[in-house]
Amino acid sequence: MNSIILKGRAKINLTLDVVGKRENGYHDLEMIMQTVNLYDTIYIRKTKVSGIRLKANYSWLPTNEKNIAYRAAQLFFEEAGIDGGIAIEITKRIPVAAGLAGGSTDAAATLIGLNRLYETNYSREKLMEMGLKLGADVPFCIARGTMLAEGIGEELTPLTPMPHTHVVLVKPPISVSTAVVYKNLDLNCIKKHPETKTVIEALEEGNVQKIADHMSNVLEEVTIAMHPEIEKLKQDFMKQGAMGAMMSGSGSTVFGLFNTREAASRAAKYFKMHHNIREVYVTTTYSPILKNREDKRQRRGLRRRGAKRC
């Protein structure tokens, strides 16, 4: 195999709690992370010339060590002891600096893709260990699905997959620095911590409305103080019929959960028209477990239909 195409999927947070701060400045987190079906496409092919060449569909994206996917390739070759030559092409769809792990998921896809291309047979755990050297969200982006994330985000516990749910993502035209948000977070001033256990129970029950009712993100207070329009987006999501709405990560993306595709599409149209926001996406939640079950059902259906034709 000389080339491979992968999907680097975005994530949202169903809860995000900050429970402590370490001496090294990192924060201890407790959050529920969920993969969604908005994705970047990462095309990787081997080249005869050694080295890493990277290009993207946006001219302003870095194509050197400043790009986390580039660094992921460097790390892989160092770990594997391979003098490889590859070309990486990234088609970005996930908004940048938006709280959706757009860069981390590209790095995750790069590690997965190179592992397959070079047949190094690294386990998922080994890839996640490598990914942590690049960023705290990379291990989750390798694992994907519905996870409780603790520590700095690298301690992952699989949860009951979230039921198939329609999601609208709205990225206002503002950039939020994660470092600035955490710097301005005062742990003693957090008014309400997320009910993470309640959301885990709701996942086990398959109760999306209960999940939506108890979504919470302690970073909202800091980010909304800097960008009040985020609170307005949350309010308008509820007016448009969302089951619940929340900011993802440190922002600035706000998402809403909807019962139907039609309701989600109507809300997306509203935000494009009335807020004049370009980066609005209608998507769904993603689970590797549920996808595998669906794939098996489809294969069984094809076999049955094939038998009937014979």
Residues with active-site annotation:
11, 137
Q: Does 173 show up as a binding residue in the annotation?
A: no
- Is 163 within any annotated ligand binding site? no
Taking a C-beta distance cutoff of 8 angstroms, is the pair 1, 117 a contact?
Answer: yes
In whole angstroms, give the CA distance from residue 187 to residue 253: 23
96 is in an annotated binding site: yes
In sequence order, which residues have a C-beta less than 8 Å from that of residue 308 and are 6 or more positions away? none
**Residue 101 in marked binding region:** yes
Q: Does 25 belong to an annotated binding site?
A: no
Q: Is 95 annotated as a binding residue?
A: yes
Is 267 annotated as belonging to a binding site?
Answer: no
Q: Which residues are annotated as a binding site for ATP?
A: 95-105
Q: Which residues are annotated as a binding site?
A: 95-105
